[in-house]
Amino acid sequence: MADAKDFSELTAEELSQKEKELRKELFNLRFQAVSGHVENPNRIKLIKRDVARVLTFSQMKKKEAIEKEGASK
């Protein structure tokens, strides 16, 4: 599980890439859970939280970009 500070330092592109990686890991964990071979079931919960954090910071970055664009006009 990553800290929110870790995500705040990433760029929009890096956040997008991180989201893809986390969603892929979540898919794999869910697949393992269905087959009964997941080693740490709590990891699913942690990955979901990290995806939510990434999405939150992505929205914040987009909002900041729009505000900067509006201020420069």
Report if residue 5 sits inside a domain. Answer: no
What pLDDT shows up at residue 1? 63
Classify residue 15: in a domain, yes or no: yes
CA 8 from centre of chain:
11
State how many domains the chain has: 1
Domain span including residue 48? 11-71
> 27, 29, 12: which is closest to 54 by C-alpha?
12
Handedness of CA 19, 62, 2, 51 (dihedral sign): negative
The answer to whether position 4 is within a domain reads no
Whichever domain contains 26, its CATH number is 1.10.287
Backbone angles phi, psi at 31, to 5 degrees: -60, -45
Q: For tokens 């929009």, what's the residue?
A: 12
Q: Which pLDDT band holds residue 73 (cuts at 50, 70, 90)?
A: low
- Whole-Å CA distances, 38 to 21, 25, 65: 18, 12, 40
pLDDT digits (tens, 9 = 90+) for 4-45: 778 888 898 999 999 999 999 999 999 999 998 888 989 999
- pLDDT at residue 55, rounded to an integer: 96
